[in-house]
Amino acid sequence: MAETVEEWFHIENGVRKGPVNSSDMAELLRTRKITAETLVWKKGLSDWTPLAKTEFGEMISEPPPISGQAVNNTFVWWMVATPIIGIFVENIIMAVTEQELNYMATALAYFLVYSILCSNDQTKLKKAGHNTASFWWILFVPVYLFIRARKLRQFPLYAIIWCVCFVGSSAYSENIFDYFGVSSQTTINAVREGTFYDHPEMTIDEATKAYLVNPKWESFIAGDKQQYVNVSGIIKSSEDKLLIQFLVNSDRSFSVNALKINEQWQNVAQTNAFVDDMYAIDN
């Protein structure tokens, strides 16, 4: 009777491969295309079994990979925190520079941060004896995190939290600093680049720069939960102190809320007359 040739199957990236004979399996192991943790099956085995627990285990000279519970997840948790930290950094930069961030430059900065964290994480995983996900999955951060969790047999908690942080940071990117009472450059720019209905010929930024010495802008959330923008400075022609306060709506439309000259609040009629006068003067 002819000798029966064992036919082996193994799992690679979630796909069943095979059948191959024992010699071919040994070659796959020698060339490290399969590892001690690779799940294999042949006739006689009740279920998919790690290669190390079969007769090929004797050919494995390296220690098994560190278990998922013992793997260091430090860089992964930094990746999880990146969306939230990024929003704070973006708002600080806009507040200091008083300019909107360039979209492409911002996207590149995030990519570089994730690339550095991913590279360091993969180095740690390789030292722990694990085959890692393709580096290019970093272009799709949640995919990388979910693949990592599956390979390490971990619950994908960090992948889920990253998704929550990303959605949350995207939803509140323009408003999160406002809730902490910190200046929102986006809100300020909405006023600076806008115009009065009765004076469309000049932006408010142009008018205040022409009328005031070094106008100062600030944005805040008041006790009534409304968003306000103040512009203040010294009037060039009279050296009086001026403050104009704008009420900004959620859709970034705005109106003059109050006006103060030399610490004295003006009534509505005085405020409207002063704005008209400011635009009427040949600055």
Mean pLDDT confidence for 229-257: 92
Q: Is the per-residue pLDDT at 177 higher than 70?
A: no
Q: What are the structural domain ranges in the chain?
A: 8-59, 68-173, 185-280
- Model-wide pTM > 0.85: no
Rounded CA-CA distance 211/73 in Å is 56
Mean pLDDT confidence for 105-116: 91
Give me the chain's average pLDDT, please. Answer: 85
- What is 14-64 written as a DSSP string? TEEEEEE-HHHHHHHHHTTSS-TT-EEE-TT-SS-EEGGGSGGGGG--SPP
CB-based contact 37:51 (threshold 8 Å): yes
pLDDT confidence tier of residue 197, bands split at 50, 70 and 90: confident
User: Which tops the pLDDT comparison, 210 or 139?
Assistant: 210
* Per-residue confidence (pLDDT) for residue 21, from 0 to 100: 92
Q: How far apart are the first and last CA of the chain?
A: 108
User: Which tops the pLDDT comparison, 264 or 179?
Assistant: 264
Q: Is the per-residue pLDDT at 42 higher than 90?
A: yes
Asked which of 23-27, 64-68, 235-239, 266-270 is least confident by mean pLDDT, the reply is 64-68
Mean pLDDT confidence for 71-86: 93
pLDDT confidence tier of residue 3, bands split at 50, 70 and 90: low
Q: How far is CA 117 from the centre of its chain?
A: 13
Backbone angles phi, psi at 219, to 5 degrees: -130, 145
pLDDT digits 0-9 by tens, 250-268: 888 999 999 999 999 999 9
pLDDT digits 0-9 by tens, 138-149: 678 998 999 889
